[in-house]
Structure 1
């Protein structure tokens, strides 16, 4: 069926949980449309089970007709859910035969209760009670006869009771004397002889036509039968069939018109009969359904029926014309599924569909494939097709942003400056946001803001564009970022908070600006010395942020999480986030982000006096610097800055102050030219430190004063305190000379207070009783204990995943559960807590099954 597809299956799965509580599926729904590969699907499932686990109540997921789930990817998702389900999630699986998933592990854990046919059959007494509830009057002899015919099979009893109620004469039912009705085939045979054969010609024609649809209503059936004027009569006929218990079921919807669906066995029977009719009849029905769904705005169903009518060009034309409507409603996954059903030649003959395929590759992070698609499309487009050329330029620029390639985006800039008159409003909004992003990277912050503040409100069909990548909420975030890059952190923080609040009020339609605002706000909170608030904001969002955000945002998020954990004394957790950043960047071939991770790793190793480890990381970083020499390009200049800053830290750590001083002068000039005022303030303080250690006290004082004045003007805190482990000592040394400057003296006091508050107090010793310790240890699953055992050996996530045969995302999910059960915030705390509980880390080796 149309539902037997992993995209549609996930949509229905999330919708089912949303009926219990919409918030359960919120985070998972934010990952919709970001790919259908196993990694993307697993991220969605992890987000779902995390939300379920956070609820105090038990939840039961009922899956009927499980034998119909034949798609391998869909079966994999169900198997994953069964294997990784939290303790408050339970399953009821209903299947005609053996379920298409493995229950062996659950059986071994005695976590499965299985019922077969013999368990479900009614006894003779239950049969009589059931029949009496269905029929006005039935004698015991008739009830016994029906029981014998069905062997207590409930579906068979229901059918026979319908037939008996019509005739009131069991002996005249010739079919039932030929055998029992105890399986689906005999059900179908009986259905055909005793139910369908008794329908009027009009009733049968109605059901046959409707069988091509997953759902149907009166006006649709009238169109299928070519009798649009008879919609009211057909509506009455459908209602009558429901009253007669002919196994069609009303579907609850918000539509004014009543919708119905078939009982699965009736649907199978009707479709089997329809397959025996001439193909021209089936094609006629699908063609009529295609027209009806198209005219009533159900684009996805119209496309599916057009394809079933062997009208692939028409299906492609529908998506070409109305696909943007699906995207505006957030149906990325549905759009992706529909386009991929089209023949390749139909996609290649339409610019909009080719652009969508490129966008879908972009969403799935298939960056190389997207680049190839755009290259081929560019070669095929006429040079004078302004609209198509503008749309192509916009996707190219978006790819450049997703690839963290500012230089490539700059090359496309001229093509975006003059959009055609008929450009889509969403495209104009997207163009404006990309322009702001580019101008910020050129340090033209005022122009970046002007684009956002002077642009008219973008609308689509009269509705303001807010949540899309081209929406104004995204643009407001960029205005905040322009202030932050200038060092105006407090102004930026206000904007981020407002955008985040408004985005969250609007739900999943505003996931993009919500993610960007959260990432930028986390960075601002850390700078303003509130690392605990940054952790609280970002920790639960990091998986979604990593999946849906641009690389620049991912860099900010993972860097802030690492730095915040470091301040709290959680060294393993801090380094794990830097490893995660490096893995992310290597996977997408993003050298700038790899360099950032390596630069921070150099810094952290030096702070722990691990000079050999720092030296190895610095050597790897310098190789990246040689690959991208300073040449005036954005990438080359930034990597030069990252490498030089790491070299300065290493020189200072090993006492090479002359070398550090030689590097700092040119480095400060580059950062000033690029408008990176936060970095300039940090570098000036490092310059002061180097001068002091060289005995140049006057120069040290001047450099410290310059750093403090800049930091005070910009409202900086952590940028100065993180300049060096002895930064505060240097500031206080010079602060004694600042008595005449009230503003700077007060600023120095604030920095001192900030450093004191950032030092997290050691957790108070726990006084766990024996029962409490046992309860905590018993709450951990065998798999979680395996993970903790490897944590105690300082394994990073990748090695834990390899050792246990898990994906890195599943390891992260287990870690989150472990931290919650132990009441800790990170790896170091988890291992320490387990030791306090008396756990033996040297127990049996972890199972890899």
Structure 2
């Protein structure tokens, strides 16, 4: 089997797929990344549409650029043992450009019928090459089971040191790789690793739509597609036809346009009618299990159909180490559009079957949904009562509220399990009066169990806290704060969380942390729950309260990752933590990450976050808008926060909004505007804030006092500014508000300097504290004169000036191809052959190539002859085309 006589079918199988210029290079999944480096075997396992082949092509280019020989082989169901070895031989003959390689295997195949003996000969030839070799096997799921168990397993366990094997499969590979795992020689990438991350989605959006994207739009599209590479590409194709991207994303649907056409072509047109009917009927389910599907369609073959469909369609997402599957939302909407066209009686019967199976297996919420759609309301109410309180404990308040909207009011009031769950969910938001009505019967019942009365008071206190009335919350829960431990560990942990919040309001952040850390522990089978989640939010917030940004960032980032994974990105717990983390990241000058953390979350923050988190979210977004040069956007956000304060009767929002506006105008020297805003602020400040009474009064008084400072700053009234700074400094020190304390020191240093005094010592102290706390942004944003003063001071003292962050986050842009070409450092070619190929690609004649390389024309002809042989080409243009196809030749960046 010389190179010239490779079967045409094998030629196709060993030819790599055409490269896509628009394909996104994914550095996170680089062949040299820590998770893949030095791994002898790598398996990429995911359904169709997850970009496996594109990733293999990326690894191929990376390997070629490092000088490795790369062999590509696309497999099919006819690749039994001997044919598999023939494919390997052809792949290596093309990849290495050595006809002798193929010929030696051909001779071996001529006198043996044992594929393992032939494979041993192939491996020996690989060793003899003495070069780093990457073997890429695509579509491994098509291999006959016998070939996987014998030939492929033998290949992996006998691979020489210079060989790396990469395998791509749509399904799980039944390979005995325990020993390879034990020796850290095997890596596996699945669906979760192949999903696009938000920054990768942003890279695609930016390359396609340039400056028409923002963080919110990017995150909305990312969440809609769930990082599914194919779904993202389909969505982008649909969006290209719209001039208003935000509106297009909002209305993106699989029921029209290119996305619908794709599903029609890939599902309805290509699949047998029996499988299409099966898909439509199981689309009523959110999660799929082979046994559930079999019960639904009353066919024991349903499990096999499901397995086949996972291989041939890109719409299924497999659970990790689980038999459960789900259909991607984009495809699910399309299939449900067909499901609703079935006769009503058939639909209700299918829903009833699903409800029965799910209830039998303890999946009560899913069973209740199916019973409701089947028209069995009483059954649905009974089922949801089994699980709604547990759903609330898991922090899924949004799901609880959805049920409250569905269930009749009388049913909620009559069922204790529903009543308590509903009260908790309504208290975490803005529906506090409804929550109070649901628990009043317990609070007013002197015969109620103490644990029941304690929980009712804890709900009422939570409602008061989320209404930003901490003094009222304290009065409600105070009788239980010093009681001996009783009730469940969960209830004790809830009370501990309340105590921690009150400690923070009182200016005791270390006590708040102690209470959070030592809250009673309990078993939680589903990871992070609402109680632990809010306690972690308070724990991280205590560092932010002190201005200690570095530990705050560490704690809040870890807490947010857990909350997103266990509860959901837009859950009340997650968005509360996200608001704090974004504020910390901005202060640490990590602007791009702060944008990402808050992206597509503001509406969820409005609905479910604590008041302090809502204020932080709006202010952080406004400051980020200023850094992007979007002043109008910043003012709009602050106006929206003020309006929210009026609607909810929450003074915090109005005070924080006006303070931030005064600060922004003050830094721009807008004295009259600052005075006008101050008059508005002064008119609405409650007496409790003026007198610094209660738990909330002192905290809000800090904003009011600092607003007065900034008004004086805008007026250049240095004596007035120094006078206003004194009470502000005393209050922030009493409350242990570290960030504000540092800012006050910086402003005092500026006022002293301009008033004729010596502010240098104060400046040095403030800069030292800011550096210790990680407060980089305050040193830049507090005032332009202060920032310049710090730079001058550092320069005078021989220190490196503090770096100023770019005002606009850096967004990756697509590379533009230039007119020149480059040749990968592949060992397929000698260095001189690479030079000749590069000049050949520029259409130079033999004489011109000879002159450029300072060699004779006969030497050029000799190298061209070698290139013709290695690329199996008949003309000069064919050589160049083959080199491009194989990735040896590519456009220079």
Q: TM-score w.r.t. structure 1 length?
A: 0.54
Say if 2:696 is the partner of 1:635: yes
Pick from 730, 748, 752 the counterpart of residue 669 of structure 1. 730
Q: What is the rounded CA distance, in whole Å, between the counterparts of 1:689 and 1:267 in structure 2?
A: 74
Matches within 5 A, 1:573-588: 573-588=633-648
Q: What is the rounded CA distance, in whole Å, between the counterparts of 1:215 and 1:713 in structure 2?
A: 50
Q: Is the Cα contact below 8 Å between 2:563 and 2:573 reproduced in 1?
A: yes
Say if 2:523 is the partner of 1:459: yes
Check 1:693–1:375 CA distance in 2 against 1; reply closer, same or farther (3 A cut).
farther
Say if 2:781 is the partner of 1:717: no
Say if 2:220 is the partner of 1:47: yes
Pick from 676, 683, 704 the counterpart of residue 763 of structure 2. 704
Pick from 417, 442, 461 the counterpart of residue 481 of structure 2. 417
Q: What is the rounded CA distance, in whole Å, between the counterparts of 2:246 and 2:403 in structure 1?
A: 30
Check 1:517–1:685 CA distance in 2 against 1; reply closer, same or farther (3 A cut).
same
Cα offset for 1:526?
2.3
Q: Which runs of 5+ in 1 are unaligned?
A: 1-16, 28-42, 63-80, 94-105, 114-132, 135-153, 159-211, 222-233, 243-248, 275-281, 740-744, 770-849
Determine helix, strand or coil for the equivalent of 1:757.
Answer: coil
Determine helix, strand or coil for the equivalent of 2:721.
Answer: helix
Say if 2:653 is the partner of 1:593: yes
Matches within 5 A, 1:507-526: 508=568, 511=571, 514-526=574-586
Matches within 5 A, 1:508-657: 508=568, 511=571, 514-539=574-599, 541-626=601-686, 628-657=689-718
Determine helix, strand or coil for the equivalent of 2:784.
Answer: coil
Check 1:735–1:398 CA distance in 2 against 1; reply closer, same or farther (3 A cut).
same
Bigger proportion of residues as helix:
1
Q: What is the rounded CA distance, in whole Å, between the counterparts of 1:382 and 1:692 in structure 2?
A: 65
Q: Is the Cα contact below 8 Å between 2:509 and 2:546 reproduced in 1?
A: yes
Q: Could you tell me which residue of structure 1 aligns to residue 720 of structure 2?
A: 659
Q: Could you tell me which residue of structure 2 aligns to residue 396 of structure 1?
A: 460
Check 1:509–1:296 CA distance in 2 against 1; reply closer, same or farther (3 A cut).
farther
Matches within 5 A, 1:225-304: 238-239=298-299, 268=343, 294-300=359-365
Instruction: Please give the per-residue CA displacement for 1:289-314, whole angstroms capped at 9, x wherever unaligned.
Output: 98886554242466579889999888
Q: Is the Cα contact below 8 Å between 1:458 and 1:464 reproduced in 2?
A: no
Check 1:735–1:547 CA distance in 2 against 1; reply closer, same or farther (3 A cut).
same
Say if 2:421 is the partner of 1:356: yes
Check 1:727–1:379 CA distance in 2 against 1; reply closer, same or farther (3 A cut).
same
Q: Is the Cα contact below 8 Å between 1:539 and 1:561 reproduced in 2?
A: no
Q: What is the rounded CA distance, in whole Å, between the counterparts of 2:435 and 2:296 in structure 1?
A: 56
Q: What is the rounded CA distance, in whole Å, between the counterparts of 2:436 and 2:489 in structure 1?
A: 27
Q: Could you tell me which residue of structure 2 aligns to residue 8 of structure 1?
A: none
Cα offset for 1:663?
1.8
Cα offset for 1:544?
4.3
Instruction: Please give the per-residue CA displacement for 1:561-585, whole angstroms capped at 9, x wherever unaligned.
Output: 3223434544333333323433444
Determine helix, strand or coil for the equivalent of 1:758.
Answer: coil
Q: Is the Cα contact below 8 Å between 1:367 and 1:403 reproduced in 2?
A: no
Q: What is the rounded CA distance, in whole Å, between the counterparts of 2:361 and 2:671 in structure 1?
A: 69
Determine helix, strand or coil for the equivalent of 1:623.
Answer: helix
Cα offset for 1:332?
5.2
The size of the alignment, in residue pairs, is 571
Say if 2:541 is the partner of 1:481: yes
Q: Is the Cα contact below 8 Å between 2:423 and 2:439 reproduced in 1?
A: no
Check 1:313–1:56 CA distance in 2 against 1; reply closer, same or farther (3 A cut).
closer
Cα offset for 1:612?
3.0
Q: What is the rounded CA distance, in whole Å, between the counterparts of 1:90 and 1:582 in structure 2?
A: 35
Cα offset for 1:546?
4.5
Matches within 5 A, 1:781-800: none
Q: Could you tell me which residue of structure 1 aligns to residue 805 of structure 2?
A: 758
Q: Is the Cα contact below 8 Å between 1:291 and 1:302 reproduced in 2?
A: yes
Q: What is the rounded CA distance, in whole Å, between the counterparts of 1:551 and 1:708 in structure 2?
A: 31
Q: Is the Cα contact below 8 Å between 2:718 and 2:751 reproduced in 1?
A: yes
Check 1:350–1:712 CA distance in 2 against 1; reply closer, same or farther (3 A cut).
same
Check 1:241–1:632 CA distance in 2 against 1; reply closer, same or farther (3 A cut).
closer
Q: Is the Cα contact below 8 Å between 2:393 and 2:530 reproduced in 1?
A: no
Q: What is the rounded CA distance, in whole Å, between the counterparts of 1:217 and 1:533 in structure 2?
A: 38
Cα offset for 1:456?
4.6
Cα offset for 1:606?
2.5
Q: TM-score w.r.t. structure 2 length?
A: 0.52
Q: Could you tell me which residue of structure 2 aligns to residue 727 of structure 1?
A: 786
Cα offset for 1:592?
1.0
Q: What is the rounded CA distance, in whole Å, between the counterparts of 2:287 and 2:808 in structure 1?
A: 61
Q: What is the rounded CA distance, in whole Å, between the counterparts of 1:413 and 1:18 in structure 2?
A: 54
Tell me how large the CA RMSD over aligned residues is. Answer: 5.8
Q: Could you tell me which residue of structure 2 aligns to residue 499 of structure 1?
A: 559
Q: Could you tell me which residue of structure 2 aligns to residue 344 of structure 1?
A: 409
Q: What is the rounded CA distance, in whole Å, between the counterparts of 2:637 and 2:351 in structure 1?
A: 53
Cα offset for 1:669?
0.9
Q: What is the rounded CA distance, in whole Å, between the counterparts of 1:568 and 1:240 in structure 2?
A: 59
Determine helix, strand or coil for the equivalent of 1:508.
Answer: coil
Instruction: Please give the per-residue CA displacement for 1:104-137, whole angstroms capped at 9, x wherever unaligned.
Output: xx9xxx9999xxxxxxxxxxxxxxxxxxx99xxx
Check 1:265–1:357 CA distance in 2 against 1; reply closer, same or farther (3 A cut).
closer
Check 1:713–1:732 CA distance in 2 against 1; reply closer, same or farther (3 A cut).
same
Q: Is the Cα contact below 8 Å between 2:496 and 2:515 reproduced in 1?
A: yes
Instruction: Please give the per-residue CA displacement for 1:237-257, whole angstroms capped at 9, x wherever unaligned.
Output: 944999xxxxxx9xx999999
Q: Could you tell me which residue of structure 2 aligns to residue 437 of structure 1?
A: 501
Q: What is the rounded CA distance, in whole Å, between the counterparts of 2:733 and 2:366 in structure 1?
A: 57
Q: What is the rounded CA distance, in whole Å, between the counterparts of 1:720 and 1:682 in structure 2?
A: 8
Cα offset for 1:401?
3.0
Determine helix, strand or coil for the equivalent of 2:452.
Answer: helix
Q: What is the rounded CA distance, in whole Å, between the counterparts of 1:344 and 1:313 in structure 2?
A: 14
Determine helix, strand or coil for the equivalent of 1:726.
Answer: helix
Cα offset for 1:674?
0.8
Q: Is the Cα contact below 8 Å between 1:359 and 1:370 reproduced in 2?
A: no
Check 1:237–1:644 CA distance in 2 against 1; reply closer, same or farther (3 A cut).
closer
